[in-house]
Each structure stands twice: as C-alpha cells, then as structure tokens.
Amino acid sequence: MQKIVVATRNKHKVTELKELFSKFCKFDLITLDEAGFTDEIIENGNTFEENALIKARTAAAALGLCAIADDSGLAVDALGGEPGIFSARYASSNGKNSQDDENIDKVLSNLKEIPEHEKTARFVCAMAYVEPNGKEICKIGTCEGIISSERRGNNGFGYDPVFFYPPLGKTFGELSEEEKNALSHRAKAIEKLAEELKELQQNKNKKTEVS
C-alpha cells in the first residue's frame, strides 16, 4: 500500500482525512510526526490552493514521500470573504492560531448588524497532492450554508457549531460524523482528488506492466 504523508498536525483533520480517503482509495496515510518531520511550515500563500500546495510541497521535498495537504476555511459573503485563509487565526493578536470559540465570537460580532438572510457563507477546502518528482494535483471542494446567530451542537470543530446547512436543517456541529463526511467541503475535495489519484496509479501500473 502506497505511503502518503499528511502535511498537518491538526489531529481532527488527520482523523477526517483517513476516514474520507478510505471510502475512495487505499493509501497508508501517516502524519508529519510519524514521518519524523519536526519543522514548521510557513503558510504564506494568498489563497487556499497556494497554502495547500506549500504544505504538501514542503513535506514531499523534506521527506522524499508523496504528500497531501489541505487548506480550508470559512468564507462569509457579508464580510467580503473573511475569515478565508485566516480562518484558524481570525481572532489572533500574534499571528498564531486562536481558539475556535474566539474565532466564532469574532465572526458573530462582525455579523451582528447583518440581516439573517444575508449571512450566507461557504466552507472551502483546497486539497493538494505532491510527489517528490514534482507532480502536483490540487482540487477544490465547497459547501454552502448560512451563519447561525448562535452555536448549535457539540460535534465537529472550528466553525461547525455556527455553520447552518439548510438542506438538513442543522449546523455542522449537530451533524454526525457520517452525515458531515457525506457532504462536507473536505469530502468533496477528497473525492475529486481520489478519482485522479486512482487514475494516476492505474497509469503507473500499466507502465510497470509494459516495462
């Protein structure tokens, strides 16, 4: 089974990624710590795609392994797309990641004068795959919703308790893991990436058979 390093130290993301990838293709996903990578990766891109590729490129180059990385966040229309790529550190005063509750509080505060029907938002996920030889793939997944004025549910992480998903009448914080993994932005990005990875692997196998 092909070993791929997941370029993140976010345990929630690693758990989700392993669960989601297992539905589409078989890879041995290992964490940065398991691969022995201890350096800090500087995410200085201007888009989700750029940051995902930065993380995957850094891990692949340092470890000589294929790497995947995602960069994801919340984009609120009434806030001009904020918090966007700064979702994890939206409420930070020092540039480091802030607590989920602090980030949620800032979003809700910034939206307090906005009518409910204008609180449209989406979760965005850029999922990147990079090989040590330079091969790169990046796929985008989104999920549309509305920002709830109050927290609902204790599941998930990040902005899940205030991200209301109209088709199910629940916030992501109220969804079960199975429900979320069936429709989330990350699930959609992974499904797109997994399809291309399967095709890539099939082509490699064909070349091996020919040679």
CA dist., res. 156 & res. 174, Å (int): 8
**How far, in Å, are 11, 28, 150, 192 from residue 25 at the CA level?**
21, 10, 38, 11
Identity at 133, one-letter amino acid code: N
Place of tokens 């990578």: 37
CA dist., res. 58 & res. 42, Å (int): 9
70 is a catalytic site residue: no
- Active-site pick, 33, 71, 101, 105: 71
Q: In what order do the strands lie in the sheet with 3-6?
A: 28-31, 3-6, 66-76, 120-130, 136-147, 163-165, 170-171
Tell me the catalytic residues: 71
